[in-house]
Amino acid sequence: MKNINNLGLFVGVFLGTVGFLNFREHIQQANRIQIKYDGSTAAVLGRAGGPGDAQRQKAGEDLEVYHFKPVEDVNIGVQTGHFFGSDFEGLQPNCTIGNTVINCRYGAAIDPATADALWYHIPSMGGESKMDKRHPKQLFIGMSMESSEYYPALDNKDFMKFFDIESSYRTCSQVPVFYFDYNAQQVAALFKPPRSFEEKKTALAYVNSNCGAKSGRSEIMKKVIGMKNQIVPTHSWGHCDRNMPVSDHSFDKVELIRGYKFCVAMENSITKDYITEKLWQALEAGCVPVYLGPHNVGEFLPDPEAIIDYSKLGSPEALMTELERLANDKAAYEAKLAWKYRKWEELSPSFLAMTERSHVRQPHSRCQLCRVVLKHRYRPQNFTTCLFNETWTQDYPVKR
Ligand SMILES: *[C@@H]1O[C@H](CO)[C@@H](O)[C@H](O)[C@H]1NC(C)=O
Ligand SMILES: *[C@@H]1O[C@H](CO)[C@@H](O)[C@H](O)[C@H]1NC(C)=O
Ligand SMILES: *[C@@H]1O[C@H](CO)[C@@H](O)[C@H](O)[C@H]1NC(C)=O
């Protein structure tokens, strides 16, 4: 770990959150489970119709212009510390492209002079680095799952210009690392029917243990909890303003919130595309989330109605009025969960696009990076990372 201070900040910010272990598990599972690249996503999930086959065909056609050998080696030098566990370095399992087997290797010991690409974990870099390519075809990969609010280097063009490939939570990434890093079983679990209206507690479940997040969620929730005469009380199970008895810290968050009509899903920081597992856990559990996050959250949702968007309500009072309205109107409440029963093609197209980029049919992001690097060896291309992507920056203020 090159930058111990950054590690400390990360650990402070993230180990405190209950969702972290789930997220680590997803990473490990995604590595183990390989879904065969056939059939549309809808078919893989056992749902009718939907796009997918056309894209798959296109991917196949695209590959014909490359003349890969039956086995190809791709070596990616790991240049910084990271938080991704012992399975990160070494040969990535079962990485292929078309009929070619890729020996996709990551490691700190890989010689930077000959490596096909050098990989950097941006939160471990402290925003400063002198980076020189060792050979003309070498690529620089910058990776981050942490938000630009916590790591402003992500918003700094002078810093980000070094990278050829961005691998972050941003949709403009060449290889995104979404928190929606779900495989088929996990995507299918999102559509698990919720408990009935009557069965669920008329209360707002709140599980938060990072009480100083930049988004101000703890301050908002403190006010919500303190309001008088509530029809929808808050049950706080985390370290912030806890009002529920917790004897054993190993409770399963998704199982807990399944029993509630409403649950809090507020990000630790608010920046375009930064949507974490909190939202997906709530949607899976079938509680209606009170969400605080980026302006473009709608692009990620299966249905724009699936959340109660705190930024649109704007105050604890307006939130309470909305919660009471839904608690007293079963039909209006159930409309917020109607997406769970829709056909695949009736879900929002941008949600479907995100699913295509998840692990339903894509391999682990580390294998995806090896594929991009291998293609570049045969057909060099100029990549455009997020801050230089004019489509993406249209609604994103880039400072310099
Ligand atoms: C790799 O593929 C083989 C053969 O399909 C399978 O048995 C094995 O479990 C896979 N390994 C991983 C880590 O996915
Ligand atoms: C720019 O970002 C958009 C997502 O906003 C993405 O669809 C597009 O592929 C990106 N363009 C390039 C050249 O990477
Ligand atoms: C990449 O950019 C360079 C410099 O602008 C240009 O000469 C080259 O033709 C570009 N390559 C591709 C594949 O677009």
Q: Report pLDDT digits (tens) over 24-64.
A: 334 334 333 333 334 567 777 776 555 545 555 566 667 77
Report, as an integer, the average pLDDT of 135-156. Answer: 95
Residue 6: per-residue pLDDT: 40
For the ranges 34-48, 157-171, 336-350, the maximum mean pLDDT occurs at: 157-171
CB distance 220 to ligand 2 below 6 Å: no
Q: Give the chain's radius of gyration (CA, Å).
A: 22
Residue 138: per-residue pLDDT: 97
Q: Whose CA is nearest to atom 6 of ligand 3?
A: 382
User: Over 60: is that where the pLDDT of 214 sits?
Assistant: yes
How confident is residue 127, by pLDDT bands cut at 50, 70 and 90?
confident
CB distance 396 to ligand 2 below 6 Å: no
CB distance 381 to ligand 3 below 6 Å: yes
CA distance 342 to 340: 6
Residue 159: per-residue pLDDT: 93
Residue 28: per-residue pLDDT: 38
How would you classify the pairing of strands 260-266 and 308-309?
unpaired
Residue 33: which of 181, 253, 190, 254 has the closest Cα? 181
pLDDT per residue over 281-324, tens digit each?
Answer: 999 999 999 999 999 999 999 999 999 999 999 999 999 999 99
Residue 10: per-residue pLDDT: 39
Give the ligand with the smallest distance to the CA of 164.
2
CB distance 391 to ligand 2 below 6 Å: yes
Report, as an integer, the average pLDDT of 172-194. Answer: 93
How confident is residue 21, by pLDDT bands cut at 50, 70 and 90?
very low
Residue 62: per-residue pLDDT: 74
**Which ranges in the chain belong to alpha helices (H)?**
4-10, 20-32, 41-44, 53-63, 157-160, 184-190, 217-226, 253-258, 277-285, 310-313, 316-327, 330-335, 349-357, 365-378, 390-393
Residue 104: per-residue pLDDT: 98
Residue 20: per-residue pLDDT: 38
Report, as an integer, the average pLDDT of 87-101. Answer: 93
Residue 58: per-residue pLDDT: 62
Structure tokens at 334: 């159930």
Of 63-67, 122-126, 284-288, least confident by mean pLDDT is 63-67
Q: Which atom of ligand 3 is nearest to the CA of 379?
A: 13
Residues in contact with 39: Cβ distance below 8 Å, sequence separation at least 6, in sequence order: 52, 53
Of 27-36, 165-174, 275-284, 344-353, least confident by mean pLDDT is 27-36
Q: Whose CA is nearest to atom 5 of ligand 3?
A: 382
Q: Which atom of ligand 2 is nearest to the CA of 385?
A: 14
User: Over 50: is that where the pLDDT of 143 sits?
Assistant: yes
φ/ψ of 287, rounded to 5, equals -95, 150
Candidates 94, 101, 362: which one to mutate for ligand 1, based on the most atoms within 8 Å of Cβ?
94
Residue 2: per-residue pLDDT: 33
Report, as an integer, the average pLDDT of 212-217. Answer: 95
How confident is residue 249, by pLDDT bands cut at 50, 70 and 90?
low
Q: Which one-letter DSSP state was computed for residue 193? A: P
Class of 184-354 per CATH? Answer: alpha beta
How confident is residue 277, by pLDDT bands cut at 50, 70 and 90?
very high
User: Over 60: is that where the pLDDT of 400 sits?
Assistant: no
CA distance 298 to 273: 10
How many angstroms is it from 379 CA to the middle of ligand 3? 11
Specify the domain boundaries for CATH 3.40.50.11660 within the chain.
184-354
CA dihedral 300, 305, 310, 313 (to 10 degrees): 140
CB distance 32 to ligand 1 below 6 Å: yes
Q: Whose CA is nearest to atom 6 of ligand 2?
A: 172
Residue 5: per-residue pLDDT: 37
- pTM, full prediction: 0.86
CB distance 93 to ligand 1 below 6 Å: yes
Residue 37: per-residue pLDDT: 35
Residue 8: per-residue pLDDT: 35
**Which ranges in 262-364 belong to alpha helices (H)?**
277-285, 310-313, 316-327, 330-335, 349-357
In this prediction, what percent of the chain has a pLDDT beyond 70? 85
Residue 250: per-residue pLDDT: 72
User: Over 80: is that where the pLDDT of 14 sits?
Assistant: no
How many angstroms is it from 137 CA to the middle of ligand 3? 13
User: Over 50: is that where the pLDDT of 85 sits?
Assistant: yes
Higher pLDDT, residue 398 or 73: 73
For the chain, report the end-to-end CA distance as a whole number of angstroms: 29
Give the ligand with the smallest distance to the CA of 32.
1
